Amino acid sequence: MTENLGSVSDHKEQDPKTVLEIDHLQVTFATDGGDVHAVKDVNLDVRAGEVLAIVGESGSGKTVTAKTILGLLPETAMSSGAVMINGTNVISLSPGRLRQIRGRDVAMVFQEPSTALNPVFTVGWQIAEGIRAHAGTDGSGRVSKKEAKERAIEALRKVGIPDPEHRVNYYPHQFSGGQKQRVVIAAALALNPGLIVADEPTTALDVTVQAEILELLRDLRDKYGTSIVLITHNMGVVADLADRVVVMYRGDIVEEATAKTLFAEPRQDYTRNLLAAVPHLGRNSASAGLAERPHQDGEVLVSADNLVIEYPGRLGTPAFKAVDGVSFTLSRGEVFGLVGESGSGKTTIGRAIAGLNRTTGGSLKVLGYEMLNLRERTFKPLRKDIGFVFQDPAASFNPQLTIGECIAEPMLIHTRPSEAQARKRVGELLESVQLPASYAGRYPHELSGGQRQRASLARALSLNPRLLIADEPTSALDVSVQAKVLELFKDIQEEFGFGCLFISHDLAVVDILSSWVGVLYKGKLVEQGIGSQVMGNPRHDYTRRLIASLPVPDPDEQAKRREEHRALLGI
């Protein structure tokens, strides 16, 4: 350890602008299953005015590393090594000293802005709280309420909240998701820390809002010289913002390089595979070269005509129109990709087709059955022809049943096979989704996320449905797993030939699978057409903005795109 001390001070003399230095960091968690080494041996440093991205899949230790920087680890964690912020080792600090450092030297931006803000206080109060908490500790004496508020307004202005003098008194619910994240960033900026740790700052946001927040973070670096540690799993975000990238895998650093080098010539196999798995808009499109809509001679499975779905409002407020006059058809053998941001109504349409939501207007015919005024008893026979794959594979399995029992469930309800028949069919299904048949005896929690989603697909296919609805089936998965599941999905769709409604917020993923793509915006289908045409030559303004906001995993190309679309994005 004394050796390290020497190197730390040496380094200081050579490069005085290092704001963060992590040295041989190890973090271990005590769990029911024994000790888990979340971070094994991490060394990295961040210089002033630099954006360092830490990327990795779930369980790689990137978030734990970030939390260690602020000393936010839970009690069950044990850390060793050194985390030096401006020459202070955070790991060995007392809680009181740690509080002084947080906010002043290093601040954090969280993933979910709506839970990071306290709903019962105004945003001004929440920003001022940090300012007042630090008053007196740096020799400046107490900060008056008025002065703290002025500084909060200043911070809000910095992050581009319009009319900050007025909106400083607003409550969090009066801001949109993107503005809330701006407020969180403003709170982080209030004391001008040299370093901001941003843990998945755009993951919870829509892609158009993500572009704005990324622009804001870039501004912070350029205008104020703030260093940013960016934790993310999204390679597009990395390409857009990062100067240097650290790739983590199972608690270790696999590769460290500048963003350009990393994307152009990754040295490690793991990085190469990771980058190859990232879907890239315009590459590997399912509809490449198509001139007209395929499968139109097939049976029409779903036809929506001026479909309206409303959710009843509270007493005295009008009903909320989640889906507003949408018309489309879906034929057998076709993959219809439905794209939209959160709240666009895409999931509502999928659920209505499966009979989980009621339609309130227009017409929705599913396998010839009119869903308006749905009666469960008459619809039930049709259910065996509809498969549904849910977003979260972990929650869509009954934890008390084995995978085999879960997959056999649709058969037990509709065809009542003998036990031997059911077991045989489950084995076949598992094999068709590339899982060993022995997995039938396992419980859902004993499978990884990707395996669970395969099993979920097997369950949806168990009765050879004519129609499959996949609601964001890969958004809970890591990119490398996502790539495999998508490939499997494509193969199976070609093999079984069912019609599929593929719902996703990710344009690149939709493009890989679907030949026909519909874009939803605020409950309206603003554009539909052949995938490659919608992506390559969007006609509606919203589609253009959506495609322009999507960061591509290539720093040079992304920089070019950013400049081209600057006007369109309004940044």
Binding residues for other proteins, rule: CB under 8 A, are 1-2, 4-5, 8-9, 26, 28, 30-33, 35-36, 58-59, 76, 78-82, 84, 87-89, 91-93, 250, 354-356, 380, 383-384, 386, 388, 390-392, 394-401, 409-410, 413-414, 443, 445-449, 451, 459
Helices and strands of the chain, counted as H and E runs: 22, 20
Contact 305, 327 (CB under 8 A): yes
Which residue, 212 or 471, is less far from other proteins as judged by CB? 471
**Lookup result for tokens 């190469």:** 272
CB of 87 to other proteins, least distance (A): 4
Q: 3-class SS at 336?
A: strand
The two structure tokens encoding residue 123: 């945003």
Question: CA angle, 321 as apex, 320 and 326 as ends, to 5°?
Answer: 170
Report phi then psi at 475, rounded to 5: -75, -15
Q: What sign results for the dihedral spanned by CA atoms 418, 420, 421, 427?
A: positive
CB of 491 to other proteins, least distance (A): 23
Which residue, 217 or 422, is less far from other proteins as judged by CB? 422
d(CA 289, CA 557): 23
Which residue, 42 or 526, is less far from other proteins as judged by CB? 42
CB of 561 to other proteins, least distance (A): 33
Which residue, 75 or 292, is less far from other proteins as judged by CB? 75
**Lookup result for tokens 């350029």:** 222
Which residue, 13 or 297, is less far from other proteins as judged by CB? 13
Q: What sign results for the dihedral spanned by CA atoms 59, 63, 68, 69?
A: positive
The two structure tokens encoding residue 24: 């041989």
C-alpha torsion angle, residues 169, 175, 178, 184 (rounded to 10)? 30
Which residue, 319 or 413, is less far from other proteins as judged by CB? 413
d(CA 143, CA 247): 42
d(CA 277, CA 368): 39
CB of 281 to other proteins, least distance (A): 27
Which residue, 217 or 386, is less far from other proteins as judged by CB? 386
For residue 438, the 8-state DSSP code is: G
**Gyration radius from the chain CA atoms:** 26
Which residue, 72 or 394, is less far from other proteins as judged by CB? 394
d(CA 374, CA 371): 5
